[in-house]
Amino acid sequence: MTLPRVTADERARLLANGAARAAGQAIDPMPAVRLYTPDAHATWLLVSLEPSDGDTAYGLIDLGTGMPALGTVKLSELASIVDPRKLPVRRDRYFQAVRPLSEYVRLAHENGAILD
């Protein structure tokens, strides 16, 4: 199993946001990374990484059931997920956040899915 690749820059942003969350700061960051399954319609827009373990990520999770929600996921657990064609979770190399997390959440709730 291999972990979804997160670049050094993305990891640094995730950890910085995780440190701010751990310190109790009220933040509304731009998502740093988008992970997805090529065929299973699951998407994770991640904004922070827990500094204490470097594995627990927080963000908007859409498992393709029409009920996207904020939550946590372990990057190590994503390594075991494969879609129907046995393809692993991938990082969207072209993703550039265009709005803060709260706006992605609002739009996902309105539409039942993460749209971009």
Coil, helix or strand at residue 104: helix
89 within domain boundaries: yes
29 within domain boundaries: yes
Q: How many domains does the chain have?
A: 1
Which residue do the tokens 């709260």 mark?
A: 102
58 within domain boundaries: yes
Coil, helix or strand at residue 70: strand
**Host domain of residue 46:** 8-111
Please indicate, yes or no, whether the overall pTM of this predicted structure exceeds 0.85. Answer: yes
**pLDDT tens digits, residue range 41-71?**
899 999 999 999 999 999 999 998 999 999 9
2 within domain boundaries: no
21 within domain boundaries: yes
1 within domain boundaries: no
76 within domain boundaries: yes
**pLDDT tens digits, residue range 8-24?**
899 999 999 999 999 99
116 within domain boundaries: no
Q: What are the structure tokens assigned to 115, written together?
A: 């749209």
